[in-house]
Amino acid sequence: MTCPRDQPTTATLLASCDDRPGLVAALSQLLFALGLNILDADQHTDTKAGKFFHRICFDLAVRDGAAMIDQATLEGAIREVAERYSMQCDLRLHRDAHRVAIFVSKTDHCLYDLLLRHRSGELRCEFPLIISNHPDLEPIAKQFGIDYHVFPITKDTKQAQEEREIALLREHQIDLVVMARYMQILSAQMMEAYPMRIINIHHSFLPAFQGGSPYQQAYGRGVKRIGATAHYATLDLDEGPIIEQDVVRVSHRDTPKDLVRKGRDVERTVLSRAVAWHLEGRVLVYDNKTVVFD
């Protein structure tokens, strides 16, 4: 049985801790004792780091099907097990759709892809607002009925503008920020407001060609494959935990413009996968890398 993505009567539990015997049994027995049915489970152990990771999708209906479990009861039981094993736990109820803000500049392909996938039901979330440092993409926001906010950024105004952006994000109760080719480097105050909750798309196969103009860098090196990388943004530019990557073949006949054109297809698919996996509770971060469950 697989975990239904859009079923409001299910939930996902992500757990991680130092590896030791009995962890799988403790989590499964916890849900069994509450009368809950496990629908899907996966686990991974990093033997070198001595770390254990587990993802469980389960039904919130008690075994007799008469009622849904009380959320406070469920959270309390999980807390007791987490404290016993020094475990980090993240419970996500599927009925609670994440509220996602998209940050953009002037390039529209990743923005369009996210909005179209959302419209078709591939991304289960809400997009309350789009934030940009330019007005260029506002017609797209209007087309999809989403509020569009422009915060022009200069070196002198960056801190004040980011403070306004953070206030807006909090006002709209944003859970996740997606940088859909937002060509700005976020400051420490934004990272601290949304730690490991900012997903960026970089138009190269990291760690190759970090920083600006990666397609021009790739052309200059005569590479035969170009790629894109979706990662959590951190203070270290283009070095955050990687969620997803992909590549496409290029040749000596391709110009820098050809690389940009081909790369856009990879960028949009890599970003959408990373966002979907985050929303579905498939990603765990540790040691500046990730475990991404199938």
How many CA atoms lie less than 13 Å away from 131 in the CB half-sphere?
A: 24
pLDDT tens, position by position, 9-35: 899 999 999 999 999 999 999 999 999
Would 119 be classed as within a structural domain?
yes
Encode pLDDT of 36-66 as tens digits: 999 999 999 999 999 999 999 999 988 666 6
pLDDT value for 214:
85
| CATH number where 15 lies | 3.30.70.260
Full residue range of the structural domain in which residue 66 is found? 10-93
Task: Tell me whether residue 33 is in a domain.
Answer: yes
Taking the complete model, does pTM exceed 0.85, yes or no?
yes
Higher pLDDT, residue 232 or 69: 232
Identify whether residues 140 and 250 lie together within a single domain: yes
Whose structure tokens read 């790369």? 263
* Annotation marks residue 147 as catalytic: no
For residue 208, the domain's CATH number is: 3.40.50.170
The answer to whether 133 touches 184, Cβ cutoff 8 Å, is: yes
Q: In this structure, are 157 and 230 located in the same domain?
A: yes
Looking at 61, 93, 125, the residue that finishes a domain is: 93
Considering the candidates 64, 238, 258, 294, report the single residue annotated as catalytic.
238
pLDDT tens-digit profile of 64-81? Answer: 666 788 899 999 999 999
Give the pLDDT score at 181: 93
Residue 256, pLDDT > 60, answer yes
> Is there a single domain that holds both residue 48 and residue 158?
no
Give per-residue burial for 230-263: e unless 16+ CB within 10 Å, then b: bbbbbeeebebbbbbbbbeebeeebeeeebbebb
Task: Give, to the nearest 10 degrees, the angle between helix 256-279 and helix 109-119.
Answer: 40
Overall number of domains in the chain: 2
pLDDT of 64: 64
**Does residue 152 share a domain with residue 241?**
yes
SS3 222: coil
